Amino acid sequence: MDRLCWPALLIICTALIAACKPAPDAAPGALATEAAAVEQTGSPSAAEAVAFVAEAEEELSRLGQANERMTWVLRNFITEDTELLAAKTAEAFTAAQVEFAVKAASLNDVEGLDYDTRRKLNFLRSGTVMPAPGDVAKVAEQAEIGAKLSGLFGQGSYCREEGNCLALGELEEIMAHSRDPEQLLEAWEGWRTVSPPMKELYARQVELANQGATELGYDNLGTMWRSGYDMDPADFPAELDRLWGQVRPLYEALHCHVRARLGEYYGSGAVPQDGPIPAHLLGNMWAQNWENIYDLVGPEATAAAYDLSAILNEQGFDAIGMVKTAEAFFSSLGFEELPETFWERSLFVKPADRDVLCHPSAWDIDEKEDLRIKMCIDVNEEDFNTIHHELGHNYYQRAYNQESFLYRTGANSGFHEAVGDTLSLSITPRYLARIGLLDEVPDASGDLGLLMKQALVKIAFLPFGLMVDQWRWKVFAGEVSAQEYNDLWWQLRKQYQGVAAPGERPAGAFDPGAKYHVPTNVSYTRYFLAHILQFQFHRSLCEIAGNEGPVHRCSIYASPEAGGRLNAMLEKGRSRPWPEALEAMTGTSEMDATAMLDYFAPLQEWLDEQNAGRECGW
């Protein structure tokens, strides 16, 4: 789990950061007293900065563990009381974070600092998501805005008429399964009726957060968000575009084929064959993945060579058996078995007597050995893959547990998710045969369908994963006014995705607000990076494991050599710049999206054959 401001706690982060800044007319507090002392004694010294970082890490570790435990209780025993208790511990943790952020900003110009102190000061300074300006009235205003935005999304629904309303989950079901274009259009437009009231609130929130970021030493909030990537924040968008440029030909081939098949199904009048695809026809409320239209666009006469869900049930697997199998995967790579407390304290099956949050997650309660997962496991292929993914987080958490508090996380925001997905990529027929779930490795006849299903999730997501923060960074930099927010959103969606709104959008529309991560201020770049990095990790580990076949059929199961190289990266945590962590495993310090091209090479060849004679691009 992300340590610095979870999405559910963003409102608290917003409200408290300015509370830690002495307002111009406020009575002197602790920080004001410190400032007066510095004025009397001169600028702070390097020794004072070192002492401050040590104190901050000790306090954040103590409060963070308390917060982690209380959040665990809340997620597993959802009551009004646990919500209140969790809010209190979160408030104490976040108050410390934001106070330390302000103090770290005041030490930014101290000279003669060692590497670790400078690095940790930067992490402390940029650890809040939506900083508020140092004005009591603006603190209250920003907290109120955050609550309203969260509430507008969380309580949003589309009402055809009074008493006939559909929540987001119901609308998503329509988007996933309906093939009626009018019904799809109604669901798509209906959900976007929740976001227009957000636009002016969001614009004001950006204005306030930019002021807060400026007070922490950044020129705007986008620069602050990009400052955690071990490179010049101004250069980071270009690095993302470089990665996108590497994989764009594969995406364009997939787009061309999907557009053609949708045109055959819905007619070229509904899906013009020389332009972007209408967003409501791609099987997902945000057109961020296209897996739900596989039946319309997948290869004909090809199917998976096995039904893993059926096999697991036939062999009598239960939740514990599935987790034990995943643990054995990591043991085969040379990792130690999970501690006994993992089995005693994790949640594997949905309790019958209480409400729990079933969304799968991995936890490191004490940041040492109290590792857990929380997941309501069903015996099926999806959960089998997810368990391997979540344990990837746990083994990453344990690998860096000897580092100090601020280094106990992924090398950058994309690494943790990428590690989990990397291990899931090794769940191949070869792996399943080696552990006795298949009698033999199937031939390659079913590979094309499996690759297409993966591409509709992994490849289709990439441009959306990239453009969400590209939009935000332009907004944060003041490049567009609130009245231009929606136009910019669809310009970028067309530019990157080749996707368009189904029709002209109303003047007051605020379609970005219909995506959870925008009104709740959750960075999206991590997901783009994770999709790129997982294939780079997988290709390198397969090479280390001595794989000689296609990379999409490779599993690193039972390769201690691959496990050793993986651990060399994991154990660094965030102690070194991410290029060094990347090089420790892959041998290169540069992110490389060509691994995706290698993985999907058979699909690329098939797509090129299908697209012969078609007009591709938009």
Mind telling me the catalytic residues? 390, 517
Tell me the C-alpha distance between 132 and 140, whole Å.
9
Vertex 236: Cα angle to 231 and 237 (nearest 5): 175
Length of the chain: 618
Q: Which residue has the tokens 């990076």?
A: 529
Tokens at residue 432, please?
A: 């399943």
Chain centroid, CA 12 distance in Å:
21
**What beta strand segments (E) does 162-225 contain?**
164-167
Tell me the C-alpha distance between 326 and 150, whole Å.
36
Q: How many CB atoms lie within 10 A of CB 443?
A: 9
**467 Cβ neighbours under 8 A, 6+ residues apart:** 492, 493, 495, 496, 497
User: Nearest Cα to 70, choosing from 138, 8, 163, 113?
Assistant: 8
User: Nearest Cα to 428, choosing from 452, 447, 456, 455?
Assistant: 447
Q: What are phi and psi of 167, to 5 degrees?
A: -80, 170
173-182 long-range contacts, CB within 8 A, separation 24+: 175/280, 175/283, 175/284, 175/285, 175/292, 176/283, 176/284, 176/292, 177/292, 179/265, 179/296, 181/266, 181/270, 181/280, 181/281
Quickly list H helices, 216-279: 221-226, 236-266
Tell me the C-alpha distance between 121 and 54, whole Å.
11
Helix (H, G, I), strand (E, B) or coil at 322: helix
Contact indicator for 554, 426 with CB cutoff of 8 Å? yes
